[in-house]
Amino acid sequence: MTDIRARLQQVFREVFDDPELEFRDDLDANSVEGWDSLGHIHLIVATERAFGIRLTTSEIARLKQNGETAGTLVRLIERRASAGAAKG
Amino acid sequence: MTASFKPGARVEQEPAEPLGSRSIEAYLESDAPSRASRFPEFQAELRAIRDGGGCGAASEFARRAITPKLDLTSLRSLLKFRAPDRSQDRALRLAVLGGPTTAPLVPCMQAFLWAERMEAEIYEGAYGLFRQELLTAGSGLDRFGPELIFLATDRRDLANPPVDAGPRQMEEFARAEVAGWTGLWERARERWNATVIQNTFADTGYPVFGHLAHRIASSPEAYSAVVNRMLYEAAGPHVVFHDLRLLVHEAGARQWFDPRFYVEAKLPCAPECMVPYGYSVASLVRALRGRSKKVLTLDLDNTLWGGVIGDAGVDGIEMGEGSGLGESFLALQRYAKALYDRGVVLAVCSKNDASQARAPFEKRPDMALRLDQISCFLANWEDKPTNLRRIAEALGLGLDSFVFVDDNPAERALVRRTLPEVAVPDLPEDPAEYVPTIASYRYFETVSFTQEDAMRSQYYKHNAALRSLAAGARDLNGFLDSLEMVARVEPVTSANRLRVTQLLNKTNQFNLTTRRYTETEIQRIAESRDWSTCTISLRDRLGDHGLISILLFEEKDGELEIDTWLMSCRVLQRGVEDFALGEAVRIARERGCRALVGRYLPTARNEMVREHYGRLGFECTGQTDGATTWRMDLAGRESSFPSFRIRKEEPL
């Protein structure tokens, strides 16, 4: 498991109060208990905090849409990491 | 500023038996900044305890770990360990009505109320429907029946006047706005007799008029300023303001407002800011319930001045104008002095030689604090928990009303471990940050301010002096006589009603029934024919204690029931109870009642009066769940009571 996924697993466990949760890219609102609209806010807040990033309104909205999965979140974080590396 | 600076840093006493595993205690003893990295480990341990059948223990550890310095995610995690606490007072029925979305706010409020052991049942109104909830008979709120309503509204709940409005139109506009809000408050009072916590309106936008905004009467900023002011003027005693502007100001608007979450979820502020928001509202609830802190206990070396007095001497300590560090310490002294002027009791708890510790107060004219402002001054080489207990005893105040300020992390850890009921702020290393840090905890919130508050510290100072006198006096009665106490007895009047309400709602220890009444209810009681009221104010040769005892009586079937009997703990053991009994008997006789009936209703905090009626010669006539009923037959008793050590002042 990549470092990003390992840290996201921590975030998911914390936010959804499930110490056994296994992170997979295909997790979505249907497969994770508590991932409702309020849970979504908490997920965004905890993710931003854990990775020191700030998501845009459209990204926050997109992650909530049907068919979107945790994999989308991984890619958003990766994109920021590489943008940061390019700048740095 | 570190532990190694002073000889007192060594923690010599073996701490009290730790309840949990070592790492849990270590986590709870440390300051918030160093806790963050250890949170996952702490949480895992709590889970292990809970899953091993220790629900109550896990809940208690989690409760103690709650501080306003936590992030939102961790705070929510701790709240999940909460187990119902049946030992507490009856749960408060609290309604939270938005305006904007309140969903993340409510758990934050719940967490901080829990941290303060204030059980609350919270009703959360539907998004944006606060008016409907309040005004519709049979609404969810109506069925809930709130005692306290938090109107969690924001600036967007105010209309904006047309920008070309003239002065008269503006005035009408504002007046109509204010009438809308006061109508909601009235509704809350009339229908449920509920107190309202009303948010002030903090500007959310960026003023199109910029620096000119407040000179343009019809600008949104000028308008909210006018509405806020008018609301303050229109509010009666059952309305308390939560000044949201203060929170925005402290955090900064760029940090407080997060437009992403407003457009996406209608959150009034950034999700992380829900933590200080919830804490702030909870601190007002704490004040309403009479649970704000009362005593600020200060360390000396490296807290009130820089350096160690024993090493540096009076002229060597860093304190005063001229250096940044010296001014930082002076700033804390000035802050403490301002709190003192507001009625907060100051105490000193220092590991020092007593005469050396006093020297700067006596010899340095640039000290902002003076010895006579410190109600109890304790400097010795004993451990701080022992000294804190002594100070509490001398002042006659519970340790749960104490704040302990000390620059030394080892002392903070020992106090947190030994006396978990004492509030211990995480003092930062930099003395320049002392004041903002202490202020951020909102320990001393209050919902009213009277002349008596301003004088309170002096009462406690006298009290501490009296206790040390009494300890030395062989004959207690002789000592009491020497005080030359004079009591003034009055019913509840419009002049003392505010003070009466305040005392009723904050007295926890010497309080037989702990019944809380609003000012309006007190007025009704005072005017009712079936009720009698009695207040006692006391002074002695050392000072005036003000109004210190309240008794409310209701006549029922020819007997006089003592609905409420409470007394300020600062006049304990002076014979005031016997004096008050004499007054109760007098009132009962004047009404032609044949007996006095008293009740004791136990709470977590009024153990000291369990045997109150028994001591006064009442007969116990009933007992259920720790509550007891007592009766004193007046028919067979002598017509007058023995003379008391307190002289009654005859009305003019």
pLDDT digits (tens, 9 = 90+) for B381-439: 889 999 999 999 988 889 999 999 999 988 998 999 899 999 999 999 999 999 999 99
CA distance B453 to chain A (A): 42
Residue B1 has pLDDT above 70, yes or no: no
What's the pLDDT at A4?
A: 95
Residue B85 is given by DSSP the state -
Does residue B254 form part of some domain? yes
Does residue B72 form part of some domain? no
What is the pLDDT of chain B when averaged over all its residues? 88
Higher pLDDT, B16 or A70: A70
Does residue B80 form part of some domain? no
Residue B639 has pLDDT above 70, yes or no: no
The total domain count for chain B is 3
CA distance B246 to chain A (A): 24
Mutation choice for A interface testing from B73, B81, B102 by most A CBs within 10 A: B73
**Same domain for B628 and B492:** yes
Stretch (H or E) spanning B437: helix B434-440
Closest CA to B554 of B589, B537, B529: B529
- Chain B residues in contact with A44 by the CB 8 A cut-off are 271
Shortest CB distance from B76 goes to which of A42, A56, A60?
A: A42
User: The tokens 């806020």 sit on which residue?
Assistant: B228
**Same domain for B284 and B186:** yes
Q: What is the ipTM for the molecules in this complex?
A: 0.93
Shortest CB distance from B265 goes to which of A41, A46, A56?
A: A41
Does residue B631 form part of some domain? yes
CATH code: domain of residue B217: 3.40.50.1110
What's the pLDDT at B478?
A: 65
What's the pLDDT at B14?
A: 37
Q: Give yes or no for a contact between B188 and B176, defined as CB atoms under 8 angstroms apart.
A: no
Rounded CA-CA distance B520/B189 in Å is 9
Stretch (H or E) spanning B393: helix B384-395
- A3-87 fold: 1.10.1200
pLDDT in tens, A5-38: 999 999 999 999 999 999 999 999 999 999 999 9
Cβ neighbors of B63 (< 8 A, separation 6 or more) are B78, B82, B114, B115, B117
Give chain A's contact residues with B (Cβ, < 8 Å). Answer: 10, 14-15, 17, 19, 37-38, 41-42, 44-46, 49, 55-57, 60-61
Does residue B244 form part of some domain? yes
**Same domain for B346 and B249:** no
**Same domain for B432 and B348:** yes
The conformational region for residue A67 under phi > 0 = left, psi -120 to 50 = alpha, else beta, is left
The secondary structure of B174-213 as a DSSP string is HHHHHHHHHHHHHHHHHHH--EEEEE-----S--TTGGGG
Does residue B181 form part of some domain? yes
Please say which residue of B242, B271, B288 terminates a domain.
B288
CATH code: domain of residue B377: 3.40.50.1000
Rounded CA-CA distance B236/B215 in Å is 30
Please report the beta strands in B301-458, taking only residues with DSSP state E, as ranges in sequence order: 345-351, 374-380, 402-405
Q: Give the count of beta carbons closer than 10 Å to the beta carbon of residue B557.
A: 9
Rounded CA-CA distance B409/B401 in Å is 21
The secondary structure of B315-344 as a DSSP string is TTSB-STTSHHHHHHHHHHHHHHHHHHTT-
Whether B255 has its CB under 8 Å from any CB of chain A: the answer is no
Rounded CA-CA distance B49/B77 in Å is 15
Q: Which residue of B has its CA nearest to A19?
A: B44
Higher pLDDT, B110 or B508: B110
Instruction: Give the CA dihedral B2, B8, B9, B10, nearest 10 degrees.
Output: 150
Q: What is the pTM of this model?
A: 0.75
Please say which residue of B246, B261, B288 terminates a domain.
B288
**Same domain for B308 and B266:** no
The conformational region for residue B639 under phi > 0 = left, psi -120 to 50 = alpha, else beta, is alpha
What's the pLDDT at B15?
A: 39
- Chain A residues in contact with B71 by the CB 8 A cut-off are 49
What residue numbers bound the domain in which B625 lies? 480-648
Task: Provide the residue ranges of all domains of chain A, joining segments of one domain with +.
Answer: 3-87
Q: Give the count of beta carbons closer than 10 Å to the beta carbon of residue A51.
A: 18
Please say which residue of B235, B253, B288 terminates a domain.
B288
Mutation choice for A interface testing from B50, B76, B255, B273 by most A CBs within 10 A: B76
- Chain A residues in contact with B264 by the CB 8 A cut-off are 41, 57, 60-61
CB contact under 8 A, B73 and A15: yes
Average pLDDT over residues B465-472: 57
**Same domain for B312 and B279:** no
CA distance B67 to chain A (A): 18
Percent of chain A scoring above 90 in pLDDT = 80
Residue B240 has pLDDT above 90, yes or no: yes
> Which of B71-80, B93-102, B568-577 is the least confident region?
B568-577
CB contact under 8 A, B271 and A60: no
Does residue B121 form part of some domain? yes
**Same domain for B276 and B354:** no
Q: Give yes or no for a contact between B152 and B267, defined as CB atoms under 8 angstroms apart.
A: no
Residue B448 has pLDDT above 90, yes or no: no
Give the β-pairing of B531-540 and B543-556: antiparallel
Q: Give yes or no for a contact between B518 and B551, defined as CB atoms under 8 angstroms apart.
A: no
Rounded CA-CA distance B57/B24 in Å is 11
Q: Give yes or no for a contact between B251 and B276, defined as CB atoms under 8 angstroms apart.
A: yes
Closest CA to A76 of A49, A41, A47, A39: A47
pLDDT in tens, B296-345: 999 999 999 999 998 889 999 999 988 999 999 999 999 999 999 999 99
Rounded CA-CA distance B344/B297 in Å is 10
Quickly state the pLDDT bin for B89 (edges 50, 70, 90).
Answer: low
What is the pLDDT of chain A when averaged over all its residues? 91
Average pLDDT over residues B180-185: 96
Q: Give yes or no for a contact between B412 and B406, defined as CB atoms under 8 angstroms apart.
A: yes
Edge to edge, what strands does the sheet with B619-624 contain?
A: B619-624, B627-633, B595-600, B559-567, B543-556, B531-540, B485-490, B646-648
**Same domain for B265 and B303:** no
Average pLDDT over residues B599-628: 91
CB contact under 8 A, B40 and A10: yes
pLDDT in tens, B562-598: 999 999 877 777 788 888 998 999 999 999 999 999 9
> HSE-up of A71 (CA within 13 Å, CB side)?
7
CA distance A84 to chain B (A): 22
CA distance B16 to chain A (A): 33
CB contact under 8 A, B260 and A38: no
